[in-house]
A and B are shown apart, each in its own frame.
Chain A
């Protein structure tokens, strides 16, 4: 119902904005109707109309006009389709939405691999290939940026720090309800014929290409807005909502990862918004930001874009590191090794991520004097990244490893990320990057980081916290089948891509020289195999949610706060406010305690 009102609000907003822009154009003597200009002008009213309709008006804005806000009365499954401020509802909304986007973008990848299975044209025109490739990349980037943070940051972080909700619950709901706008814009781009710029949307191509690009820009802009709002909320929550005794050195590593990630989002996301806005204005108002002949700079877009999008890589991977280290400790029944070094590593990565963006531009024609500094800064970022590996290996060494499904996925992250990280050292080497840049070597590299690290981390988190979120257990055997199927499919798909990249297969092409046919066919088959592994997952996920065995409050015997309350937790998370008295990983020390939950007088 509220979604319907949101849609009506959005449409009214669009009509209002478009009418306003059109009448201004008519008044100034321009051709009144221009779809892109109207859409640009209608962007803000559309978003505002949607948000007001979907719940901001009823639950939030009414008091501004002297009326009573509507109380939250929705219960049961309907809550998940409503504007709801409970961080646990929002976490699940994020999770289901982004899993859906993940599978959809995965299907697009299957279509691409189908086309690439043989040299020559099979099922797609070059133009529709570009469309699928662009949407696949864009949606997967959105998933990687927002899935863990949105789902588990929201659901788990407040419980882990002993809070009853996020610092700004309404803002939290707002940041989630911007996500359907993102999806709507992506769908709109598809409906008007797609766009062919990839997720990087380089200007000037993005300025001159078809209308779909405009909707891509608006979608990215909206996701950015959602990220910034979310980041402010996480930072405030971690600073202000920690339970008594939850000092910074007692924070679980997952909380640290979300905290550091939120700083990255807060500081850098405005730059992607800027990049997107510049393209929007260049398209609709004819601003010549990127035209050298008109005083613009053709490399400006890339600089601003990567100034966000490199840190964004860490926005994608740091939460997965957090999940991984968290799980490695609990399932090794051993405290996290070198906790402070791991935290330092995360902060180090975040700090250095501001100084490496131009490593994406070694062949771009940027000034030669800048090659060395960016080569150096990029190679150095492997030092803090190495600290995460140090912590992971030190934790499992001499542990007592129980290979439950979340643990398998966490170990998978370490294994996969190893190859993603090491090949990053190759790509950072500017003399070598000249050859490897924009080839499948890069495609393999970032899939090892983002799929092998980030998405394996997402699945580790799904399996780990599923009992807490749903009150039910997932099927262990199906989970193991999923893991082995996925990691084998993953490595057989992406390992050969390093080789074809070195051997002349460049990115974002729908056809290639014939002698790469054999390897491409193998990659496609492995890719389909990888794709099928998710059928197992989906079955397990849906069936377990519906019929799975009841989960106890602490099925894994883990020590952090979220396991000290029922599965799922009550509305305010804990019946009493926990008092934190020690570090989060108390394994091997019977006298140590993380927190006390006793009714106080």
Chain B
């Protein structure tokens, strides 16, 4: 009995050391690696920070399971024809109590942060400088710039000014589609008979040629043309944007 006990202690120490080491390595990897594609909106910051926080929090949990699993397999394995039983440990109050406490604690914590904090941050500012109506249909995107009063049917691209709070009002004319710009971390379904809304602030210049995150890609399966249902997205300086709007108006007049 005594020998078994001290054995257990050695096992526990080794597991603890491996756990700390692997967690450290994992956290180091998570901090030096950038897993995120380009982020070009205020919403992208909220989304990426949520991901990073969850990645840090899940690191010790993941490594704990991996270490216990791996160590047990290597340390406690016996040959296939062994028939002797292990000691019948059916419970361990301390381990169970710790486990329940930690899982409850972590689960509740992530509800508030990054969960509720993120939702609150996304919904905080409802004063948009600019409104764009996005209308989806099989299989095209229409954009209407409300204040500028210009409209693009079956558009090739969406052009926006930088550092501008924008409200997208999204709807569909047939089935459900989804307005998704990866670089903005913005996704909202286009639902027939419903107008859905997204607020976000552009924070970076960019265009599709430079980074393919600047695209509006339909993210909800909508039939045969779903794959191809995308337009480019371009973010211009505010000055360039005004010039662009004028050019569009002139084109409309002369066209």
Contacts and interface: CB of A to CB of B under 8 A. Distances in A.
B217 A506 contact: yes
B178 interface: yes
Interface stretch (A40-48, A265-273, A428-436): A428-436
B201 interface: no
B76 A400 contact: yes
B76 A396 contact: yes
Interface stretch (A18-26, A183-191, A327-335, A461-469): A327-335
Interface stretch (B16-24, B86-94, B241-249): B86-94
Interface in A446-474: none
A403 B215 contact: no
B226 A508 contact: yes
A379 B84 contact: no
A557 interface: yes
Contacts of B104: 383
B6 to A, nearest CB: 13
B62 A196 contact: no
B99 A402 contact: no
Interface residues of B, number: 84
B238 interface: no
Contact of B193 (A291, A399, A434, A513): A291
A437 B82 contact: no
Contacts of B103: 382-383, 386
Interface string B210-232: 00110101011111111110000
Interface residues of A, number: 90
Contact of B191 (A209, A298, A332, A428): A298
Contact of B178 (A402, A438, A503): A438
A205 B76 contact: no
A403 B86 contact: no
A332 B72 CA distance: 10
Contacts of A383: 100, 103-104, 107
Given A398-B11, A435-B182, A376 B115 contact: yes
A204 B174 contact: yes
Interface string A492-525: 0000000100111011111101110000000000
Contacts of B61: 422
A371 interface: yes
Given A209-B223, A379-B110, A401 B73 contact: yes
Nearest to A294: B193
Contact of A431 (B96, B119, B196): B119
A502 B36 CA distance: 7
A434 B227 contact: no
A32 to B, nearest CB: 29
Contact of A432 (B47, B87, B228): B47
A323 interface: no
B71 to A, nearest CB: 9
A363 interface: yes
A383 B228 CA distance: 41
A547 B180 CA distance: 56
B93 to A, nearest CB: 10
A426 B76 contact: no
A363 B65 CA distance: 32
Contact residues of B: prevailing secondary structure = mixed
Given A338-B90, A379-B115, A431-B46, A205 B176 contact: yes
Interface stretch (B50-58, B128-136, B149-157, B159-167): B50-58
Interface in A399-454: 399-404, 411, 414-415, 418-419, 422, 425-426, 428-432, 434-435, 437-439
Nearest to A209: B223
Contacts of A293: 193
B95 interface: yes
A59 interface: no
B123 interface: yes
Contacts, number: 268
Contacts of B123: 368
Contacts of B43: 434
A60 interface: no
Nearest to A206: B175
Interface string A370-402: 011001100110110011011001101111111
Given A126-B227, A439-B219, A332 B121 contact: no
A223 to B, nearest CB: 21
A426 B95 CA distance: 26
Given A414-B65, A429-B115, A504-B213, A400 B92 contact: no
Nearest to B65: A418
Given A393-B69, A401-B77, A431 B118 contact: yes
B180 A506 contact: yes
Given A196-B224, A383-B107, A398 B174 contact: no
A503 B51 CA distance: 13
A587 B182 contact: no
B85 interface: yes
Contact of A338 (B88, B96, B225): B96
A426 B51 CA distance: 7
B73 A435 contact: no
B35 interface: yes
Nearest to A361: B189
A339 interface: yes
A341 B47 contact: no
Given A196-B224, A292-B192, A588-B88, A430 B115 contact: yes
A422 B43 CA distance: 23
Given A434-B187, A438-B187, A425 B68 contact: no
Contact of B47 (A404, A422, A435, A508): A435
A205 B119 contact: no
Interface string A316-349: 0000000000000000111111110100000000
Nearest to A368: B123
A226 interface: no
A594 to B, nearest CB: 13
Interface string A345-372: 0000000000000000001110010011
Interface string B34-47: 01110000010011
B144 interface: no
A431 B88 contact: no
Interface of B: 8, 11, 35-37, 43, 46-47, 50-51, 54, 58, 61-62, 65-66, 68-69, 72-73, 76-80, 82-92, 95-96, 99-100, 103-104, 107-108, 110-111, 114-116, 118-119, 121-123, 174-176, 178, 180, 182, 185-189, 191-194, 196, 212-213, 215, 217, 219-228
7 contacts: A363-B178, A365-B189, A398-B76, A398-B89, A418-B62, A431-B118, A511-B228
Given A389-B65, A557-B83, 15 more contacts: A205-B223, A298-B191, A333-B83, A334-B85, A364-B176, A380-B111, A394-B91, A398-B76, A399-B72, A400-B78, A418-B66, A430-B119, A431-B121, A432-B47, A509-B226
6 A-B pairs closest in CB distance: A292-B193, A431-B118, A588-B88, A365-B196, A205-B175, A334-B86
